[in-house]
Amino acid sequence: MHVAMILGSSAALLVFIFLLVAHHREIPDRVRLDRGALLGSSSVAERIKPVGEIAFAAAETGPAPAKNTAAAATPVRDGQQVYQAACIACHDAGIAGAPKVGDRSQWAKRIAKGLDALYASAVNGVNGSAGVMPAKGGNAALSSAEVKAAVDYMVARSK
């Protein structure tokens, strides 16, 4: 009786293992077919393609075409806009010896030297015992005209 139970259990185990192996042998084929159906569509290729491409033009030997400088020129900001963007950080608080805008006593000596001296100091910068000022207020992107407009704005508010 024990022998029959052992043989029956062994036969059942062998049948179970056979069915399990047969089932798992079919899975890779089904997965491959399903994957091919899913990934073979063009929509996946469209979804994963790069957003843009870089095109390198061949070097030209002729002269470069003239640019329309009128359209490319940026408009000059007025003095108040430049002051708000670049100057207010130092000239509102008086940092590093900067004369506070509106303080007539601090500006009187500078105004007495003339506007050309103020323009030169603002455009080229100052590094001396009276204080430190970076050229163009530390913003190299400013044009000389914008810096001069900011100086005019500060002088007008400090007279």
The single-letter DSSP state of residue 126 is: E
**pLDDT, tens digit, for every residue of 23-63?**
888 777 777 777 777 666 666 667 778 887 787 776 666 66
pLDDT at 71 over 60: no
**CB-based contact 101:136 (threshold 8 Å):** no
**CB-based contact 59:67 (threshold 8 Å):** no
Write the CB contacts of 144 (distance below 8 Å, at least 6 apart in sequence). 119, 123, 136
Where are the chain's structural domains?
Answer: 2-48, 76-158
Mean pLDDT of the chain: 83
pLDDT at 7 over 90: yes
Class of domain 76-158: mainly alpha
Q: What separation in angstroms does the CA of 151 have from each of 18, 50, 52, 134? A: 92, 50, 45, 14
Measured CA to CA, the distance from residue 136 to residue 144 in angstroms comes to 8
Measured CA to CA, the distance from residue 146 to residue 81 in angstroms comes to 9
* Residue 133 zone, left/alpha/beta (φ > 0; ψ -120 to 50; rest): beta
Q: Which amino acid, 51?
A: V
Q: What tokens does 159 get?
A: 């007279």
